[in-house]
Structure 1
Amino acid sequence: MSKQIDIKDLDIFYGDFRAVDGVQMQIKPRSVTAFIGPSGCGKSTVLRTLNRMHEVIPGATVSGEVLMDGNDIYGAGVDPVNVRREVGMVFQRANPFPTMSIKENVLAGVRLNNKRLSKTEADDLTERALRGANLWNEVKDRLNLPGSGLSGGQQQRLCIARAIAVEPQVLLMDEPCSALDPISTLAIEDLINDLKDKYTVVIVTHNMQQAARVSDKTAFFNIAGTGKPGKLIEFNETSSIFSNPDKEETENYISGRFG
């Protein structure tokens, strides 16, 4: 499991508007990569192109390549649904299905893929995914109760369990801790550190301390002004980005001079 991602000359458009210009980077398997930068600089847009989620917005297109282990996910004949099976997504706000039990929330993605499970298979997969999301011990005695009854941090980990139940290769996380308290945030950060043993993890965060804590590499995006495209300014080992960045723009953002 886990895949290398090579992004080559990636331009992202919404209609005629170029939202992101010329992104190039290589994301190694079994690693955590953080995208940081001011609001509106394109970091979440780039994240969503990695499983073609941006395409749900009418008029959204890309040029360039996004290669997963050498295969272009935008190649001719590639089904975006299959891409999303391999590249899971966890959103900013926890979104468990409110009418479903904890167990059925975990299994929802698998069932959506028309996969038939025996009761034993369903039970085993539920436990495996919840253990993978470090949630099993907290919910094992109430699997048939609604997922919406969990705390915010637990709901976010339930959504992570739902994502990994489908057995993806890559996990994308769009500000997964922005709505959480510090204790829940710490639980998610610990989980991210565990997940990279199996998955390629890419996280968007506004919290620079979080990027420094959880990621192996950091990509800094910026925007020259309203109406201009977002650009990747610097991509390097996280320790270098935060202690000795190559670009003055990065230094200014890290030090709080702007952004």
Structure 2
Amino acid sequence: MSKQITIDDLNIFYGDFRAVEGVSMRIEPRTVTAFIGPSGCGKSTVLRTLNRMHEVIPGAHVKGSVKMDGQDIYAAGVDSVNVRREVGMVFQRANPFPTMSIKENVLAGVRLNSQRLGRSEADDIAEQALKGANLWNEVKDRLGLPGSGLSGGQQQRLCIARAIAVKPSVLLMDEPCSALDPISTLAIEDLINDLKEEFTVVIVTHNMQQAARVSDRTAFFNIAGTGKPGHLIEYKDTETIFSRPDKEETQNYISGRFG
């Protein structure tokens, strides 16, 4: 199911303002890629272009290309809704639908895609997605209770279950552990390692130790100054980035000299 992502000379705009310039990189299937860098450097902006989520902001647009297995998701005639079915997203803060049960939270995206589900099929999809998110054993006896009644870490895994229930090829995560305690963070990190067996995973994190723990490759982004566009400084396998980066700028960031 997972796909290769090829980004070529990507420039991201909000109106006339260029927020990110000249990003080129290739993300391989069944890997975890971490985007790191200081606040405002464009890493979350780049992440949102991978499923065209940035387009919900009026005036936002891109130049360059983002290809999934060779298909440019910005080509004429490509439906952004179909792109978002193929590329799931988990946000910084868990956002289960408060009026829905645990089961219906998992099925929300499937139902939104206009799929008519029989009860047994719905039960099976919910169970498989919750198992995929390592949450099934904790909630299987209370699927009819509100998702908002779960702990913070459980809510985040519920949102991951909702994302994978529609069977995407790519899973994007924008700082998925920033609001969680250490134990919940560890559970999400273990889950990310499992998810790459089936999905291409891209994660934005401010936690460099987390990037070192969970990712196969790491991209370091930076910004020259206020009002300047963010840009990709270095992109390599994670061990190299954290032990022997090519760029002094990368070394300065990972050693804590700025950011």
TM over 0.5: yes
Number of the residue aligned with 2:183: 183
In the TM superposition, what are the counterparts of 1:1-259 in structure 2 within 5 Å? 1-259=1-259
Q: Distance in 1 between matches of 2:55 and 2:124?
A: 34
When the two structures are superposed, what TM-score results if normalisation uses the length of structure 2?
1.00
**SS in structure 2 at match of 1:177:** coil
Structure 1: distance between partners of 2:127 and 2:110: 14
CA deviation vs aligned residue, 1:108-129 (integer Å, no higher than 9, x gap): 0000000011000000000000
Structure 2: 5+ residue stretches without partners: none
- Distance apart, 1:2 and its partner CA: 0.3
**Please, what is the CA RMSD of the aligned residues?**
0.2
Structure 1 residue matching 2:194: 3-state secondary structure: helix
Distance 2:36 2:11 in 1: 18
Q: Encode CA deviations 1:22-57: one digit per residue, 9 max, x unaligned.
A: 000000000000000000000000000000000000
How far the C-alpha of 1:99 sits from its partner, in A, is 0.2
For 2:198 and 2:103, locate their aligned partners in 1 and report how far apart those are by CA, in whole Å: 22
Count of aligned positions:
259
Cα distance in 1 for residues equivalent to 2:257 and 2:145: 48
* SS of alignment partner, residue 176 of structure 1: coil
TM-score by structure 1 length? Answer: 1.00
- Structure 2 residue identity aligned to 1:209: Q
SS in structure 2 opposite 1:184? helix
Distance in 2, matches of 1:16 and 1:45, equals: 16
Using the TM superposition, give the Cα deviation of residue 223 of structure 1 relative to its aligned residue in structure 2, in angstroms.
Answer: 0.1
> Partners of 2:186 and 2:125 in 1: how far apart?
25
What secondary structure does 2:138 align onto?
helix
Counterpart-to-counterpart distance in 1, 2:258 and 2:151: 35
Which letter maps to 2:133? Answer: A
- 4+ residue segments displaced more than 6 Å: none
Q: Distance in 2 between matches of 1:18 and 1:75?
A: 20
Partners of 2:256 and 2:114 lie apart in 1 by 49
- Distance, in Å, in 2 between the alignment partners of 1:154 and 1:17 is 38
Distance 1:126 1:11 in 2: 38
Identical counterparts, % of pairs: 85
Amino acid at match of 2:59: G
Instruction: Provide Cα deviations, 1:194-244, integer angstroms capped at 9, x if missing partner.
Output: 000000000000000000000000000000000000000000000000000
